[in-house]
Copies of this chain bind each other. A is one copy, B any other.
Amino acid sequence: MVSFASDYIAGAHPLVLRRLMETNLEPLPGYGEDPYCAGAKEKIRAACGCPQAQVELLTGGTQTNQIVISTLLRDYQGVVAAKTGHVSTHEAGAIEYAGHKVLELPQRDGKLDAEVLEEFVRGFYADENHEHMVFPGMVYISHPTEFGTLYTKAELEGLSRVCRKYDMPLYLDGARLGYGLMSREAELTLEDIARLCHVFYIGGTKVGALCGEAVVFTGHNRPAHFVNAVKKRGALLAKGRLLGVQFDALFTDGLYFELSRRAIETAEELKTILREKGVAFYLESPTNQQFVILDDQRAEELKKQVAFSFWEKRGPNQTVARFCTSWSTTREDLELLRSVL
C-alpha cells in the first residue's frame, strides 16, 4: 500500500533524526534553555533576514495558533480568518477555548482578500459604537492555505497594508511554509513574509520534523513573559532540545528548503500522472496538496491500493479527494500510483 494520505505519514527526515541521536546523551538544561534551541533560533533569524526577530519553538500547529492568537489578542478582541481557515474549522474550537471568537470572512481559494478585510474592520476602528460586537484584533491567514494555494506578493502586501493601517497584527500560519516557499509559482520569500507579517510560524511537523513549529515575532512584539503563557497552556516541553535540535538541523545547510523542494517536485509529477489518467482537479494547487474529483466508484477501487484523504462529498456520486506528497514521497510511490490508476 502506498500512501498520499498526508504530509505527516513518516517520522523525521533522516538527517534530523541523526542529529537527535548524536546529541542524545549530552546533559542539557530543560525548557528550551539549551544551546541547540539558541542555535536554531539564530539560524532562523538569519534565514528570515530579520536579525531582531524573536523566535519561539512549540510542539504542534493548533497549539501554536492557540498560543500566538490568545497571547496577542486583547480581552475584547477576536481574530479574523477565512471561513475555511484552519482555526475556523479544524482545531476543535481551540481559539474559543482560549476565550476568543474567530471572526469568519468569505474567502476565495482559501485566501482572505485585503478589500474584504478592510470593508469588515473599517467600521470598528471608525467609531466606538461596536461595544456589543467582537472587535477584530488580529488577522490569521495560512500560506499555503488549506487548499494548497498561495498568496501572491501583491495580495500579502495588501493584507499587510490593511493590518498596519489599523494596527492589527498579521499572523501567518506556515504549517506547510516550506512547500509554499519552494513552489514553482512562489512569489513570496521567507524575507518577504518576515517583512510583511507581524508574526508567523515555520512548520516543522509537516516538513521533516517529528514535531515542532517555530514562531517568529518579527517586530519585538513577543508577548511579555511568553514562557509563563506557554507553561500556563500546558505547552512547555521539558526537553526543549527535542525542538531545538530538529530546527537546528532543518536550518543547517538549507535542509528545510531542500526537503520542501523535493516534495514540490514529486507533487508536480503527481499532477502530471493524475492529469494523464484523466483525473479532474477540484482546484489548481501549486504546492504539495492536490485536490481531485473522483467518481465514488473509482475512489472505492483506488482506496484498496492507495491511501489518500477524503475531503468532502460532491454531488451524489462524486468525492473530493486530497493527495499529498512530502519529503518522504519516493519515485516508487509515484510509479505505483501510476500503475494503479
Report how far A320 CA is from B28 CA in the complex, Å.
22
> Which bracket fits the contact residues of A?
35 or more
Report how far A228 CA is from B77 CA in the complex, Å.
9
From the candidates B59, B93, B233, B237, name the one contacting A97 in the complex (CB within 8 A).
B233
Residues of the B chain whose Cβ atoms lie less than 8 Å from the Cβ of A75: 70-71, 223, 225, 228-229, 232
Given contacts A90-B132, A234-B67, A239-B211, contact A59 B62 (CB under 8 A): no
Stretch at the interface among A7-15, A192-200, A293-301: A7-15
**Could you tell me the distance in whole angstroms from the C-beta of A1 to the nearest C-beta in chain B?**
8
A289 within 8 A of B: no
Given contacts A9-B30, A14-B24, A62-B236, contact A93 B100 (CB under 8 A): yes
Interface residues of A in 14-42 (CB under 8 A from B): 14, 17, 20-21, 23-31
Q: Mark A212-223, 1 if CB is under 8 A from B, else 0.
A: 000000000001
A332 within 8 A of B: no
Given contacts A234-B66, A238-B8, contact A228 B328 (CB under 8 A): no
**Could you tell me the distance in whole angstroms from the C-beta of A6 to the nearest C-beta in chain B?**
6
Say whether A225 contacts B135, CB under 8 Å: yes
Q: Mark A237-251, 1 if CB is under 8 A from B, else 0.
A: 111011000000000
From the candidates B90, B131, B223, B242, name the one contacting A227 in the complex (CB within 8 A).
B131
Residues of the B chain whose Cβ atoms lie less than 8 Å from the Cβ of A237: 59-60, 211
Report how far A210 CA is from B206 CA in the complex, Å.
19
Say whether A96 contacts B101, CB under 8 Å: yes
**Could you tell me the distance in whole angstroms from the C-beta of A249 to the nearest C-beta in chain B?**
14
Say whether B11 contacts A30, CB under 8 Å: no
**Could you tell me the distance in whole angstroms from the C-beta of A247 to the nearest C-beta in chain B?**
15
Residues of the B chain whose Cβ atoms lie less than 8 Å from the Cβ of A242: 11, 210-211
Say whether B10 contacts A25, CB under 8 Å: yes
Say whether A232 contacts B93, CB under 8 Å: yes
A94 within 8 A of B: yes
From the candidates B23, B206, B231, name the one contacting A238 in the complex (CB within 8 A).
B206
A-B residue pairs, 7 tightest by C-beta: A63-B234, A76-B228, A11-B24, A92-B231, A3-B27, A9-B27, A66-B234
Q: A8-B30, A11-B239 are in contact. List 17 more A-B contacts (CB 8 A).
A: A8-B238, A10-B24, A10-B25, A11-B24, A12-B24, A17-B21, A20-B210, A59-B59, A59-B237, A60-B235, A66-B234, A75-B223, A75-B228, A91-B234, A94-B233, A96-B134, A132-B228
